[in-house]
Amino acid sequence: MTTLKTIQYIWRQENQKKNVLEIAKQGGSLYDKFVIFIQILKAADKKISEAKSKTEEAIKRLSESDKKGNSLITGVQRLKDLGSPAKKEIPEDFLKASE
Q: Sketch the domain layout of the chain as residue ranges.
A: 1-58, 64-99
Stated pTM of the model? 0.62
- Nearest Cα neighbor of 95 from 79, 67, 72, 68 is 72
pLDDT in tens, 5-32: 888 888 888 889 999 999 999 999 999 9
Question: Please, which residues have CB within 8 angstroms of residue 62's CB and are 6 or more apart in sequence?
Answer: 71, 72, 73, 94, 97, 98
Question: Please, which residues have CB within 8 angstroms of residue 59's CB and are 6 or more apart in sequence?
Answer: 94, 97
Mean pLDDT of the chain: 91
What's at 87, amino acid-wise?
A: K
Cβ–Cβ < 8 Å for 98, 63: yes
User: What does the alpha-carbon distance between residue 22 and residue 73 come to, in Å, rounded to a whole number?
Assistant: 64
Is it the case that residue 39 has pLDDT exceeding 80?
A: yes
Q: What is the pLDDT of residue 84?
A: 93
